[in-house]
Structure 1
Amino acid sequence: MNTKKPSRNLRFVIIGAGMAGILSGIKLQQAGYSNVTIYEKAKKIGGTWRENTYPGLTCDVPSHAYTYSFEPNPEWSHQLPPGAEVQQYFEGITAKYQLEKNIQFNQEISRCEFIDGRWQLETKSGTKDQADIVIAATGVLHHPRMPDIAGIDDFDGAIFHTARWDHSVPLADKRIGVIGNGSTGVQIISALSSQAAKLIHFQRTAQWIMPVENPAFTEQEKEAFRNDQALLKLMQKHPDYVASVNRFTDGVSNPDSAAMQEIEDIVLANLENSITDPILKEKLRPNYRAACKRLIFSPDYYQAIQKENVHLEDQAISHIEKDGVRLKDGTLHELDVIALASGFHADQFMRPMNIIGNNGIKLNDVWASSPRAYLSISIPEFPNLFMLNGPNGPSAISH
């Protein structure tokens, strides 16, 4: 650890105690800064891994790559880690670096205003603070987006957003509908296909699915990781993973590249070779090029959607009523449980905070047409305010 004392005793405020906020706290600690507070709106750390606990939750980045470079983990159970293990990893790191002493939980920042060279902050509960530097580690997947479907409140069964999963609701032998077919919806279908009596996947837009494997690490492999630090470091930047990242980055940067052609060939072959029913295959075939939307990574969705108790519904939804989901063609799917896998308001970034920069300029006005920032990190007229995942930041990330 760097014990060099900084020349200035700067005051830092970090907003959010997810993956990025925890890392910020550690790095400031290592740089010798002690005047640091992390404000977290929830009662514990974790960000998206705290918020999401739905069945089948899995990180679609290889587990060893989804670690801090200085904190490899030899104990991952699978190639793609389950969400609970990811949350456990970050809780362990937080404890190891004794960060909880710097975190104020249940404190949601509501206002940041730059006055006389310093940021003045206020939480919803009325707590006030000042900072020389504010680091927004707010992430983009923490404001659930509810679908605009009439009748949601009329359903007699259990209905909830997937980021607010109600674990008191029994699922075995139930009739379950999943609305939304992004990564979350796909993972839930795979997880529930073996226990639901009937499982309906409501699809608005077909998705390209990148095939992946998710084997469990053997005890022999984990023992090798524990005893061989060089091997463990290699796993963090495994050549196969680095190649896939580079391929995706090259592909989205140049849609006419060989990398993009390779991506398209892989996802097309996955569809053609995995689905046997020609009608289902056409329902699952997107009408746009791969990577125009975020790719879905799944080892088993195509297998799950072909089970006898699982049905893909691509007809438009009219409304939800007390017994289930009514389609625009009049068909009623009677259900006991509806899971809304409708995603998040990914454009919120630091919203709904009221952020005011130089000379009273409001971020909501600057971003009225669309969010934008310099290198996804900083915004003109908002001095010493830095984002760790700002506008367009995730666009060239492969997973």
Structure 2
Amino acid sequence: MDAQYDAVIVGAGFGGMGAAIQLRRLGYRDLLILDREDDLGGTWHVNRYPGLAVDIPSSTYSYSFEPNPYWSRLFAPGAELKKYAEHVADKYGLRASMRFGTVVTGATWDGSSWRVSIEGGETVTAKYLLTATGFLSQPKMPDIEGIEKFAGKVIHTTKWDDSYDLAGKRAAVIGTGATAVQLIPEIAKVAAELTVYQRTPIWVSPKPDYAVPKPLQQAFAKLPLVQRAVRMAGSSILELMMISGVVQYRQFRGANRIAERWCRAHLYRQVRDPQLRRKLTPDYSFGCKRPTFSNDYFPSFTRPHVHLETNSIERIDETGIVTADGKRTEIDTLVLATGFNLWDTNFPAIEIIGRDGKNLGKWWRDNRFQAYEGVTVPGFPNLVSLNSPYSYSGLSYFTTIECQMKHLDRLFKGMRARGSDVFEVTQRANDEFLDRMKHKVGHSVFALGQCATANSYYFNQHGEATLLRPTSTISAHREAARFPLEDYSFARAV
């Protein structure tokens, strides 16, 4: 049976939209973009908790070919990212290809096309399948005894209830990752009592967050080169942090120590109580877990009605939380800032069955998490997995997206030049790439630093750091545009 669509893209966030834009540039018009949510934007649609903002400079968190001169702050609030996503979808004509409230349950390669199964029994077919389900798309629920018995209000940060008023409530937050760092100061402003349950402290540096004056926004709009220069400066700083202090840890341990001292000094300035400061100080190396920026996270814990609890939670009952030392805290509201489950329910987020019945999720778990250039996998023809092991490059997700767009451009043009319509990465190329990534990870903080206590989503269930690409972003861009086409086999569909 002929394919209904040129391509099906699963996910209508920035990754899926970037893939759709690239496919349109290549001449593919018959696209279907499926998303389980009720609108586009991915994480910037799902998340709307108080304090939500991008945690790297806004100038770097956008498509380089579609800059936004009108960010209101250096670190834009979440609503502006959602608005930017809507602007991109409208400008590039993507909305007409999108279907929302559509849950994809799986996809199977039938020898010539992909059969994509949708909840409810519908099946669509496409020549190409691109999965853009995001790295942080499957919320992680804590496995705590009795949590289902709690009679008060429970809110996960990915399903924030805007109608619920926290004013005057006794609230508890479980988790102290990047989301919690943004959320806790906002809850502290209104809650009568706030208890934060911390398993792992986080490295936090000062946040140079300033309003962008209207005249500067107008200058960016009229003189794109000025904004491009700002973007380059911001990207260079992030690259220095990421590459020197984390990826090239063996050669630049000093850069990592400088980052730690910078964060420690920030904590010391904001928290004078030495006991509280010790609780908030990580005992793992900078970069083992995603660090973040904030000017008001640490001061929140110095307020008399905010309490930091570092004892592990033993159980939750109808009205409170009991820790391992027997202390019980009465609460009205339980906020779960427990992050996302990458390695059990993601990679991939749906069941994908390739050639000869090969199950991608099972194969990854049985044979190491891997993907050639973080994009393709042997045994899965015409599949582009945009959220794969070793694909995340740098600190801005848009670096990853644009590297993958370059890879798509070279791959599809090479395929068409050969008169083919089916591609598949070779086992040899995949194995060589995997060996190179494993070698490079050996030079990083993940292998040489003190990461055992980080509880970081960078590490999979086997203790391997296979999420981030351990190279510079310059190298990632170069390889995306120049990888050997011989690393793929090309054929005509039967």
Q: Fold conserved (TM > 0.5)?
A: yes
Amino acid corresponding to residue 314 of structure 1 in structure 2: T
The reply to whether residue 359 of structure 1 matches residue 353 of structure 2 is no
Alpha-carbon distance between aligned partners in 1 of 2:347 and 2:122, rounded to the nearest angstrom: 18
Alignment-derived partner of residue 344 in structure 1: 340
Alpha-carbon distance between aligned partners in 2 of 1:148 and 1:395, rounded to the nearest angstrom: 31
Find 1:245's aligned residue among 239, 246, 250. Answer: 239
Amino acid corresponding to residue 380 of structure 1 in structure 2: P
Larger helix share, 1 or 2: 2
Alpha-carbon distance between aligned partners in 2 of 1:88 and 1:141, rounded to the nearest angstrom: 20
- Residues 157-215 of structure 1 show CA distances to partners (whole Å, capped at 9, x for unaligned) of 11121111122211112211110000111111122222221111110112211222211
- Structure 2, unpaired ranges of 5+: 398-494
Alpha-carbon distance between aligned partners in 2 of 1:398 and 1:222, rounded to the nearest angstrom: 21
The reply to whether residue 221 of structure 1 matches residue 213 of structure 2 is no
- Residues 47-68 of structure 1 show CA distances to partners (whole Å, capped at 9, x for unaligned) of 1111111111111021121111
The reply to whether residue 67 of structure 1 matches residue 53 of structure 2 is no
Between 192-201 and 276-285, the greater mean CA deviation after superposition: 192-201
Alignment-derived partner of residue 473 in structure 2: none
The alignment partner of 1:64 has SS state of helix
Between 153-162 and 345-354, the greater mean CA deviation after superposition: 345-354
Alpha-carbon distance between aligned partners in 1 of 2:396 and 2:9, rounded to the nearest angstrom: 26
The reply to whether residue 178 of structure 1 matches residue 176 of structure 2 is no
Find 2:374's aligned residue among 358, 373, 376. Answer: 376
Alpha-carbon distance between aligned partners in 1 of 2:330 and 2:111, rounded to the nearest angstrom: 61
Q: Residues 54 and 78 of structure 2 are in contact (CA less than 8 Å); yes or no, is this contact kept in structure 1?
A: yes
Alignment-derived partner of residue 320 in structure 1: 316
Alpha-carbon distance between aligned partners in 2 of 1:43 and 1:95, rounded to the nearest angstrom: 16
Find 1:16's aligned residue among 8, 11, 16. Answer: 11
The reply to whether residue 58 of structure 1 matches residue 53 of structure 2 is yes
Alpha-carbon distance between aligned partners in 1 of 2:351 and 2:235, rounded to the nearest angstrom: 39
Structure 1 runs of 4+ aligned residues shifted over 6 Å read: none
Alpha-carbon distance between aligned partners in 2 of 1:74 and 1:365, rounded to the nearest angstrom: 44
Aligned positions of 1:157-196 closer than 5 A:
157-196=152-191
The reply to whether residue 209 of structure 1 matches residue 216 of structure 2 is no
Find 1:334's aligned residue among 330, 335, 340. Answer: 330
Between 331-340 and 216-225, the greater mean CA deviation after superposition: 216-225
Q: CA deviation at 1:398?
A: 6.5
Q: CA deviation at 1:226?
A: 2.5
Q: Residues 356 and 363 of structure 1 are in contact (CA less than 8 Å); yes or no, is this contact kept in structure 2?
A: yes
Q: Residues 248 and 260 of structure 1 are in contact (CA less than 8 Å); yes or no, is this contact kept in structure 2?
A: no
Q: CA deviation at 1:350?
A: 4.8
Alignment-derived partner of residue 290 in structure 2: 294
- Residues 259-295 of structure 1 show CA distances to partners (whole Å, capped at 9, x for unaligned) of 3232222222222332200010111111111111111
The alignment partner of 2:189 has SS state of coil
Amino acid corresponding to residue 282 of structure 1 in structure 2: R
Alignment-derived partner of residue 492 in structure 2: none
Q: Residues 111 and 355 of structure 2 are in contact (CA less than 8 Å); yes or no, is this contact kept in structure 1?
A: no
Alignment-derived partner of residue 474 in structure 2: none
Q: Residues 133 and 349 of structure 2 are in contact (CA less than 8 Å); yes or no, is this contact kept in structure 1?
A: no
Amino acid corresponding to residue 351 of structure 2 in structure 1: N
Alpha-carbon distance between aligned partners in 2 of 1:137 and 1:72, rounded to the nearest angstrom: 22
Alignment-derived partner of residue 128 in structure 1: 123
Find 1:311's aligned residue among 307, 313, 320. Answer: 307
The reply to whether residue 389 of structure 1 matches residue 387 of structure 2 is yes
Find 1:86's aligned residue among 78, 81, 104. Answer: 81
Q: Tell me the TM-score normalized by structure 1.
A: 0.92
Alpha-carbon distance between aligned partners in 2 of 1:372 and 1:299, rounded to the nearest angstrom: 38
Find 1:199's aligned residue among 169, 194, 200. Answer: 194
The alignment partner of 2:290 has SS state of coil
Find 2:259's aligned residue among 242, 257, 263. Answer: 263
Q: How many residues align?
A: 390
Q: Residues 254 and 260 of structure 1 are in contact (CA less than 8 Å); yes or no, is this contact kept in structure 2?
A: no
Q: CA deviation at 1:22?
A: 1.0
CA RMSD of aligned residues (A): 1.9
- Residues 321-341 of structure 1 show CA distances to partners (whole Å, capped at 9, x for unaligned) of 122211121211111111001
Between 185-194 and 174-183, the greater mean CA deviation after superposition: 185-194
Q: Residues 347 and 361 of structure 2 are in contact (CA less than 8 Å); yes or no, is this contact kept in structure 1?
A: no
Q: CA deviation at 1:153?
A: 2.0
Q: Do the aligned partners of residues 398 and 18 (structure 1) sit closer, same or farther apart at CA in structure 2, a change above 3 Å counting?
A: closer
The alignment partner of 1:265 has SS state of helix
Q: CA deviation at 1:395?
A: 6.5
Q: CA deviation at 1:381?
A: 0.6
Q: CA deviation at 1:126?
A: 2.1
The reply to whether residue 27 of structure 1 matches residue 25 of structure 2 is no
The reply to whether residue 100 of structure 1 matches residue 117 of structure 2 is no
Alpha-carbon distance between aligned partners in 2 of 1:337 and 1:43, rounded to the nearest angstrom: 27
Q: CA deviation at 1:10?
A: 8.1
Q: Residues 347 and 387 of structure 2 are in contact (CA less than 8 Å); yes or no, is this contact kept in structure 1?
A: no
Q: Do the aligned partners of residues 398 and 278 (structure 1) sit closer, same or farther apart at CA in structure 2, a change above 3 Å counting?
A: farther
Alpha-carbon distance between aligned partners in 1 of 2:288 and 2:393, rounded to the nearest angstrom: 11
Q: Residues 109 and 353 of structure 1 are in contact (CA less than 8 Å); yes or no, is this contact kept in structure 2?
A: yes
Between 23-32 and 332-341, the greater mean CA deviation after superposition: 23-32
**Share of identical aligned residues, percent?**
36
Q: Residues 51 and 142 of structure 1 are in contact (CA less than 8 Å); yes or no, is this contact kept in structure 2?
A: no
The reply to whether residue 144 of structure 1 matches residue 134 of structure 2 is no
Alpha-carbon distance between aligned partners in 2 of 1:159 and 1:346, rounded to the nearest angstrom: 22
Between 78-87 and 113-122, the greater mean CA deviation after superposition: 113-122
Q: Residues 60 and 80 of structure 1 are in contact (CA less than 8 Å); yes or no, is this contact kept in structure 2?
A: yes
Q: CA deviation at 1:253?
A: 1.7
Q: CA deviation at 1:106?
A: 1.8
Amino acid corresponding to residue 115 of structure 1 in structure 2: D
Alpha-carbon distance between aligned partners in 1 of 2:357 and 2:333, rounded to the nearest angstrom: 48
